[in-house]
Amino acid sequence: MDLKSKIRSIPDFPEKGVIFRDITTLLKESEALQQAIEQMQHKLKDVDYDVILGPESRGFLFGMPIAYHQKKGFVPVRKKGKLPAETICKEYALEYGTAAIEIHKDALKKGQKVVIVDDLLATGGTAKAIVEMVEETGAEVVALDFLIELKDLKGREVLKNYVVESVLQY
């Protein structure tokens, strides 16, 4: 199945000159959704890991089913102020501004092997912030797995010291 044909491209959103890759059209088709998750999961077939981290909200959509199928734990990465216990927080740059994300301080154990799963790799700002939080806990990022990579934004370069996988490239 051609997964790119299931993703709607919206020009000039959220600002002029940007082409937004809308995955809602993929998510609503069961075969496309299954194929996307299977292909992302396949990218991890030779990776030894203990837990998956997924940032809200689309990292949840792909990370949870992969964690479930692989019998791994899942750690949510949330927007600032959404987690109830003590957190580690990182601010980072987006394509269109800045944001902050958090994980619980006790979410990971020292030495745990972590895979970060998300829908999109753009500039790498979100992923790099997550990597930094993981490393602050003493855990190790062994791979990052994305459905879509926007190659022109060079996010892979920001993550050059890590294994980066993506199913689709634009």
Helix (H, G, I), strand (E, B) or coil at 50: coil
Residue from 21, 58, 156, 165 carrying the catalytic annotation: 58
Cα gap 66→40, rounded to integer Å: 8
| Tokens at 11, concatenated | 């020009």
CA 90 to chain centre: 15
Asked if 29 is an active-site residue, the reply is no
Cα gap 88→133, rounded to integer Å: 7
Asked if 95 is an active-site residue, the reply is yes
Under 8 Å CB-to-CB from 134, ≥6 apart: which residues? 53, 103, 108, 114, 116, 140, 141
Helix (H, G, I), strand (E, B) or coil at 134: helix
C-beta atoms surrounding 60 within 10 Å = 18
Residue from 31, 38, 91, 95 carrying the catalytic annotation: 95
What are the residue numbers of the active site? 58, 95
